[in-house]
Amino acid sequence: MIQKVLFEIWRHLVSVVSSEVFATWFNGAAELLVALVVYRELVRDRQANFIEEFNRQYWRRKRIYTAFVSLAQPDLTEHRKAFTLHIMTNSLLRSRCDEQIDHLNILWHTHSLNGRRELKRWLPHVVVRMWVMLGPYVLAKKAVNNGAWRDQNFIDFAEECLKLMSKIDSVGIEIWSAFAVVKIANKDLVLMRGEIKDR
């Protein structure tokens, strides 16, 4: 009796596996698996390119960090104002700052929702540091152009990163160079979030 039941089960499985419907489903599943593997490789390749470019940009950002830290100001608000004035009067520094703003602007613009989550997870501190230094400059340029400023993606990116960093980092962050350090307290990060919302 058991042999007969097992034989019927076996015969049914053989008929299902050898059917055209099963073959179609199996081919579809195999093609989907191949597509997933190709997609995963594309994502890994994009991430590798991103990390390579990001490391290359680090050395360019480091020059901006050094220029910012080298200004001796007693208060962060005054420090940021003085740096904005320094950017406006120094064409080489302005060019370097614009390059970084464009880089972060393009990063935020070209990534999907999931990619943006990864960007916020990987480098919120970098974007926040850049906003600390360049935020008043960006907002000043936006005001001059009656709000039609092309760096809205950088502003959005900075707002998201400031929101994240003000929640997870109760101490604040630092901007440093070989010469000195500028400390930014968590309360300053919250205020900077407000300066974006107010605009």
Domain-located, residue 151 = yes
Query: Tens digit of pLDDT for each residue in 59-116?
Result: 888 999 999 999 877 789 999 999 999 999 999 999 999 999 988 888 887 777 777 7
| Joined tokens for residue 73 | 């100001």
Query: Tens digit of pLDDT for each residue in 122-144?
Result: 788 888 999 999 999 998 888 77
Domain-located, residue 9 = no
Alpha carbon distance 138, 123 (integer Å): 20
Q: Which of 34-43, 46-55, 133-142, 175-184 has the lowest mean pLDDT?
A: 46-55
Domain-located, residue 138 = yes
Domain-located, residue 94 = yes
Average pLDDT value for the chain:
81
Alpha carbon distance 136, 144 (integer Å): 12
pTM of structure: 0.74
Nearest in space to 184 (alpha carbons), one of 192, 122, 195? 192
**Total domain count for the chain?**
1
Residue numbers of the domain that contains 126: 57-197
Domain-located, residue 41 = no
Domain-located, residue 90 = yes
